[in-house]
Structure 1
Amino acid sequence: MNDDRAHVQEFFTARAADWDSRFPDDGPAYAAAVAALGLREGDRVLDAGCGTGRALPPLRAAVGPSGVVLGADLTPAMLEAAVQAGRGRDGVLLRADVAALPLRSGCLDAVFAAGLLAHLPRPVADLRELARVVRPGGTLALFHPIGRAALAARQGRRITADDVRAESNLGPLLSRAGWRMTSYVDEDARFLARAVRED
């Protein structure tokens, strides 16, 4: 594992046990973001960087019992927290790096990724790997339960021009990775960018 990914794993291992209790009111925001993904009964979806699996219940509800829900995360402690929270019932949990997913090309209809973008050391290559596992025309949702300005304020920092989640940066980044951005929302209550897998 390279240093960047080891740092991510270390960061989340230290926070896994109390992650959900730190953000107890995020459930409705996750459900609304999943609804915006436009999933249908029987779809196959990945929660990339699933953490404690907060998106898995709404993803399962969206695709129904005939759908496939996968949750992939690099950090064993986060996956264990997902199991302890009972979210393993809503999807198959995989210990996997989103940069090298153990999935066939084009096997998914959609990818949901909450808070993932800021933790990708190689955003173009990593988003290209997400594109690889999605069929042409499939969708991607990059989500955070609060917007960029609110998150920066919470972390005691300022937004800079090179912020990867800025619309002017994110659109070209997604394009280089095989996606076309179709919508972008950045408000205090949520960040949600949606994209379609190009042919």
Structure 2
Amino acid sequence: MSENTGRGRQTKEYDPAGVQEFFAARAADWDSRFPDDGPAYATAVAELGLRPGAAVLDAGCGTGRALPALRAAVGAGGVVVGADLTAEMLTAAAEAGRGRAGLLVRADVSRLPIRTGSLDAVFAAGLIAHLPQPAENLRELARVVRPGGQLALFHAVGRAALAARHGRPLTPDDLRAEANLRPLLASSGWRMVSYVDEDTRFLALAVRED
């Protein structure tokens, strides 16, 4: 998923059924709403520096727009998995032919059906604002990645541009603000290594600590 609903930080009021309902209603025309995001996805994937044969998860993959770039990066011998909570998003991904680039799995990223330390990287587009318990959920992403593996938190537009799109101001508790995100990642098994927040993209890269 790439578009943020503007719901902000999820807490005990998190409603997975509501999240699924929101995205299910938009799955069929999701790609047509954001037709120009492809190059930004490809650039973000390139910055992960994935090697041929690597194993990577697209967490909250939505319609799978990152999957072709991830497959190109890891090659035919690599493993690409796209996981999303919403069945309709996965159906749209399959109908767009992106199931050929990776295995599509319906799964909650807070409880991934993936072995501990089995992945080299996680790519997550527009995911963090939808995590019910950000620290615990980022820790779950860390669980499935080997020490030294990578995490990319991506959005096709920056924080200010996204807030303007939704007609709301940036708030101090925005999880994507560097001052909030860096310690959040550190408490969840990750070390932030780069942070970019521009009008045309948001990308935070982190490395899995030992």
| TM-score range relative to shorter protein | over 0.9
2:119 to 96, 104, 108: 108
Aligned length: 198
Of structures 1 and 2, the one scoring higher in RCO (CA 8 A, sep 6+) is: 2
Q: Which amino acid aligns with 1:168?
A: A
Report whether the alignment pairs 1:21 with 2:32.
yes
What is the correspondence of 1:97-136 to structure 2 with a 5 Å cutoff?
Answer: 97-136=108-147
Q: TM-score, normalised to structure 2's length?
A: 0.93
Shift of 1:5: 1.6
Shift of 1:35: 0.2
Shift of 1:3: 4.9
Q: Which residue of 2 aligns with 1:64?
A: 75
What are the Cα deviations for residues 89-115 of structure 1, in whole angstroms up to 9, with x where unaligned?
Answer: 000000000000001000000000000
Report whether the alignment pairs 1:85 with 2:96.
yes
Aligned mates of 2:31, 2:132 — CA distance in 1: 24
Q: Which residue of 1 aligns with 2:190?
A: 179
Aligned mates of 1:37, 1:140 — CA distance in 2: 8
Shift of 1:8: 1.3
What is the correspondence of 1:48-59 to structure 2 with a 5 Å cutoff?
Answer: 48-59=59-70
Shift of 1:4: 2.2
Aligned mates of 1:4, 1:140 — CA distance in 2: 25
The ranges of structure 1 where at least 4 consecutive aligned residues each deviate by more than 2 angstroms after the TM superposition are: none
What are the Cα deviations for residues 107-163 of structure 1, in whole angstroms up to 9, with x where unaligned?
Answer: 000000000011111100110000000000000000000000000000111100000
Q: Which amino acid aligns with 1:89?
A: R
Query: Which region of structure 1 is more displaced relative to structure 2, 7-16 or 129-138?
Result: 7-16
Q: TM-score, normalised to structure 1's length?
A: 0.98
1:144 to 155, 158, 164: 155
DSSP 3-state at the match of 1:72: strand
Aligned mates of 2:16, 2:183 — CA distance in 1: 24
Q: Which amino acid aligns with 1:151?
A: L
What are the Cα deviations for residues 142-194 of structure 1, in whole angstroms up to 9, with x where unaligned?
Answer: 00000000000001111000000000000000011100000000000000000
Report whether the alignment pairs 1:191 with 2:179.
no
In structure 2, list runs of 5 or more residues that go unmatched. Answer: 1-12
Aligned mates of 2:88, 2:20 — CA distance in 1: 9
Q: Which amino acid aligns with 1:64?
A: G
Q: Which residue of 2 aligns with 1:76?
A: 87
Shift of 1:6: 1.6
Query: Which region of structure 1 is more displaced relative to structure 2, 5-14 or 37-46?
Result: 5-14
DSSP 3-state at the match of 2:21: helix
Aligned mates of 2:147, 2:120 — CA distance in 1: 9
DSSP 3-state at the match of 1:12: helix
